[in-house]
Structure 1
Amino acid sequence: MVQINKAKHWLDLKKLILILATLCVFTSLLNALFSSYQVQKQVMVKDTLEANRAYATKLADVTDLFLQSVLMQLKASSETIATQLDNPEVVNKELSQMLTRTHSFDSIVLVNAKGEIIGAQPSSLGVIGATLKNEVETLPLREKAPFIVGPFVSPAGNLMVSPTHPMFDQEGIFVGFIAAGIYLKGDNILGRLLANHHHQDKTYIYVTGPNGKLIYHHDDHRIGQDVTKNEVVESLLSKTSGSAQIVNTQGVAMLAGYASVPTSGWGVVAQRPLEVTMSQLANTMRHVLKTTIPFTVFLLICVLGLGTLIAKPLWRLAKLSEQVEDGRNIDFPHVSTWYYEAAWLYQAMHSSVKNLGAQIQRFDDERKQDQLTHLFNRRGMEKWLETAYEQQTPFSIIALDIDHFKHVNDTYGHDVGDVVIRKLAELMRTNAREQDHLCRSGGEEFLMFLPHVDIDKADRIAERLRACTAETEFGEAGHITISLGISHWPLCSEDLHHALKLADRSLYQAKANGRNRVEHAVLANHNVA
């Protein structure tokens, strides 16, 4: 019989199992932590960028609406004042009423065609009789059209932006312009609009003018600074929107979302320091590590105990082999091993990771929206319908479709078609409530779900959207029209899918009746199928 040198073979099976198990556990742990860190980092950065982009876009849209409102106020007053320039009492009364009517701006001045300030409110400005000289202030004289000037330092010494509107007499001759002053360091609607946002995670916003200078910043001392070296600002100067991971002009890594304000050429940026996101990730990983270490130690202790049990049947096999070598005839017994259990444990871990990955993917899928319009896609629509059905929430359905959309694509190309679709989506948002659910169900097909809205009110909403669309110019495509069909669940049909089909049928009925119109299904108690 061959003798084994135990001093030479110091590594027995129990030690080997412990060493291999320890290496496997720690290698798997480190790999899982590293992989989890990388995945979480990508997800957190991506989610932060998307959240900032969406927030900047919404804030840009609201700011654009505010500026359009100011220009409309100026237009109304310019029409009143243009024919009364020789009546100072009427002019001053109108200017005073404009200033006190809203808190949209801080001052208002009236300039004649020669660039002389002939009226101003508040009267304490002391600028009446002054003449506009610098190139920025005299832009409205050259443009002779609605214009937003700034930022610039006014004759009264205020850093401001100024929405302006031209004035024409009854013969259509340019007689000057009226300008509202919005102080960039003042307490006004624009400042409060930009300052009041919901983020509490060190996310902040700033606004740049068309010249790349700061119009708004949470640090008042930075207002007026030139930030054109910031790559996000460079994108905004070309009137593009999006998100990017950047290093700002202060040398700080940021996760920024940005959007342009069409009316003024301004840019809105919502950004969060990358360091804040990474610190949250570090806290998450520390928590994971803290909860994992006790389990790892417990597992190693179990491995040591199991190693002894594993070695025992193999030791029995070794002893049996000695008997076989001695020539003794023995019955070779069945020896239970751990291989199946180890495979089962691996399969259990593999299944857990696989299920976790599937759950993350499912959450990611549910979060997706239509990339072109940022309305909900069909997945989002189906999830909302499922929730509404479970909660028995009644709602009206508006199905709409762009008339002759194929002609738009064939005539102007798909890029212009995409512009039309995006613009229509914006009009839908404008004409909808916050709780309404807006979906893009197909190429040029859309659905609006209006909770707790009866079919008559839905008809008025649809008609308003139809008229608004017909009056709006869609860029190169010009004017378009839409056809709309209305249904209600459960009043038109208790079957949810049938209620959707009724809205679709009404839409096609609108098209059959000449397009650019609204049709709606009749309530079920009127015996309409």
Structure 2
Amino acid sequence: MSKLHNDLPTGKKQISLATLLTGLVSVSVLLTLTILLIASYQSNKQSLFTTTLALNYSTAEKMSQTMDSLFKSMRSSLQYTAAYLSENCHMSETEVQKQLDLLRHNSSYFNSIMVVDQDGMFRSIAPASIAAAGQPIASPVTREALDSQKSYISKPFTSPTGRLIVLMSEPLYDENGDYRGFVGGTLYLGDNNVLNMIFGKNDIDESGSYFYVVDTTGQLLFHPIPGRLGEDVGANSVVQKVLRGQSGHELVVNTLGVPLLAGYSPVTEVGWGVIVNSPISVVYEQLHRLIRSIVLYTLAPFVLLLAAAIWLARKLAGPFVSLADLVNRLGRGVRTPIPDLTGHWNREADLLARAVASTFQDLQKQTDQLTHAAMTDALTGLTNRRTLEAILQQWTSEQCPFCLVLLDIDRFKTINDSYGHQTGDEVLKHVARMVGQSVRNVDICCRFGGEEFVVLLPHSSLTDAGICAERIRTTIEQSKAPIDRPVTVSLGISCFPSHAPLPRHAPAAQGLLRC
């Protein structure tokens, strides 16, 4: 027996059977989960890209068809009016004016409608406040429409009043077929008309998608950012394609360097183009949320499978561990009666399970205590400054609107000097309780430092913040304080983003608290 013990290999690292089985199963499950996640990521990425591109293209195509139909209806309306005036070329100026007013009010297509004779004089115009009959035309665009002697639509141009205008016209002929001028309608792209009612409310939706419209030269006519109207984006490859009459969808980098998933379609009637964009970052955010959901849903089965593998490994290795202990004792020459090995089947698994459970509970309890201590002000029990800054960073990066109420205890130094710092601490705790009683459950109360407190009001207006601040002030002032006189506070309000628009990538919390 002693010889057998001495012949055992020494100096080599040995792996127990339970560890080996557990490791093999764990690696297998981890590899399977990793492959699943990678395959799911790639598959869903392609699916999201394809779906977003197809949706943007479909939206752009429908919008361009709608705009095309509108312009056809506008032209048809002008053609009808031109035909009517040509057939009744001897109508009085008053009758012509009535006809123009009727067309303008009934269709709501145009902001103004005019009749210009062959000599370049306004014969009639609606509304009459724009120009008087008999005045000569002054706009080069109007002159171009007159000289064309055919159906005409102008490029968007800026009027002396600063409006972005499009002019459509149809020629007028008398009973002998002689050219007598034109009837024209103007669209003020920034004012109320049927085109602006449909396409003017152009906001970036919750998914980050938006559209814009360009004219034949690549000039922006509709865009979610009003300040960009009139900007030349003709260098954009998608804009160049849509102005050549092409339609489709593709991944593109815009003139500002932002990668986008774009769908585009031309408006054939006027040569304009509609482009619908979705930032690629939004698609990746959706993809990451999906992957996190997959991980969340597969985590429980994975843990259960791993636990079962560990249990089975221990179950199988139990008798061998007992036998190894026995052989080891015997090998050292210790006389030991051979025990009943059946009693050892669950010994290691039970001990390990109890030890792990106990350790995990202790660790979780310690972690919770440390987390709570790191996030909470020890004196008042409110959220501390570090957590406040983390919340501000998150909200401002997500562009979540909120209001901030900052309050400071009046003459707090006098309280400390007169009553002592221990009483001052009681005043701080009292104020913290009153603030907590004065706000909603969704509001966040923080001790910013010293006698300063901050209340965060998510999704609140300036009016709501003012009401909340006044409620806090009166509650503290009217409450029974730990000292023999009322405690009062001074408050200030700031709202994001209206009061503190932050530049991109700016340190959000510090920038807001400076405002």
> TM-score surpassing 0.5?
yes
Partner of 1:184: 189
CA shift, 1:234, in A, is 0.7
Describe how 1:430-469 pairs up with structure 2 within 5 A. none
Question: Mean Cα displacement is larger for which, 28-37 or 83-92?
Answer: 83-92
Q: Which residue of 2 aligns with 1:77?
A: 81
Whole-angstrom distance in 1 between the partners of 2:10 and 2:40 = 44
Shift of residue 29 of structure 1? 1.7
Residue in 1 that maps onto 2:101: 96
Secondary structure in 1 matching 2:103: helix
What is the match of residue 198 of structure 2?
Answer: 193
Letter paired with 2:97: N
Deviates more, 1:24-33 or 1:241-250: 24-33
**Partner in structure 1 of residue 145 of structure 2:** 140
- 1:232-381 to structure 2, matched below 5 A, reads 232-311=238-317
Aligned-pair CA distance for 1:6 = 6.1
User: Which secondary structure does the structure 2 equivalent of 1:284 belong to?
Assistant: helix
Distance in 2, matches of 1:216 and 1:196, equals 9
Aligned residue in 1 for 2:57: 53
For residues 457-495 of structure 1, the C-alpha deviation after alignment (integer angstroms, 9 at most, x for no partner) is xxxxxxxxxxxxxxxxxxxxxxxxxxxxxxxxxxxxxxx
CA deviation profile, 1:158-197 (whole Å, cap 9, x unmatched): 2111222111222222221111111110111111212468
Q: Distance in 1 between matches of 2:110 and 2:139?
A: 23
Task: Give the Å deviation of 1:317.
Answer: 13
Question: In structure 2, what residue type is equivalent to 1:144?
Answer: Q
Query: In the alignment, does 2:158 pair up with 1:153?
Result: yes
Aligned pairs, how many? 317
Mean alpha-carbon deviation: is it higher for 76-85 or for 183-192?
76-85
**Preserved contact between residue 106 and residue 181 of structure 1 (Cα < 8 Å):** yes
- Deviation per CA, 1:436-470, whole angstroms, max 9, x where unpaired? xxxxxxxxxxxxxxxxxxxxxxxxxxxxxxxxxxx
Distance in 2 separating the partners of 1:185 and 1:244: 30
Distance, in Å, in 2 between the alignment partners of 1:120 and 1:305 is 91
Matches within 5 A, 1:347-426: none
Equivalent in the alignment of 2:170: 165
Aligned to 2:9: 5
130 and 153 in structure 1: CA distance in 2 versus 1, 3 angstrom threshold: farther
Q: 1:155 to 1:78 in 2, by over 3 A?
A: farther
Aligned partner (choices 123, 129, 136) of residue 128 of structure 2? 123
- CA drift of 1:313 comes to 9.3
Q: Secondary structure at the match of 2:63?
A: helix
RMSD of Structure 2 on Structure 1 (CA) = 2.8
User: How far off is 1:260 after superposition?
Assistant: 0.7
Give the structure 2 partner of residue 202 of structure 1.
208
Aligned to 2:224: 218
Alpha-carbon distance, 1:86 to partner:
7.1
Q: CA deviation at 1:66?
A: 0.9
Q: Is the 8 A contact 2:89 2:174 kept in 1?
A: no
Q: Structure 2: how far apart are the matches of 1:88 and 1:227?
A: 44
Runs of 4+ in 1 over 6 A off after TM superposition: 312-318
Post-superposition Cα deviations, 1:69-104, rounded to whole Å, max 9, x if no partner, equal 111110111122235377322221211111111211
Deviations 1:347-371 (A, max 9, x none): xxxxxxxxxxxxxxxxxxxxxxxxx
- What is the aligned partner in structure 1 of residue 29 from structure 2? 25
Greater RCO structure (CA 8 Å; 6+ sep): 2
The one-letter amino acid of 1:228's match is G
Q: Is the 8 A contact 2:190 2:200 kept in 1?
A: no
**Closer/same/farther in 2, CA of residues 159 and 195 from structure 1, 3 Å limit:** closer
| Structure 1 counterpart of 2:46, one-letter code | Q
TM-score, normalising length: structure 2 = 0.57
The 3-state SS of whatever aligns with 2:156 is strand
Tell me what 1:110 maps to.
Answer: 115
Shift of the 60–44 alpha-carbon distance from structure 1 to 2, 3 Å rule, reads same
Aligned to 1:37: 41
Report deviation, 1:316: 12
Given that 1:84 and 1:90 are in contact with CA atoms closer than 8 Å, whether structure 2 keeps it comes out as no
Q: CA deviation at 1:292?
A: 2.4
In 2, Cα distance between equivalents of 1:85 and 1:113: 15
**In 2, are the aligned partners of 1:85 and 1:91 still within 8 Å (CA)?**
no
Give unpaired runs (5+ residues) of structure 2: 325-515
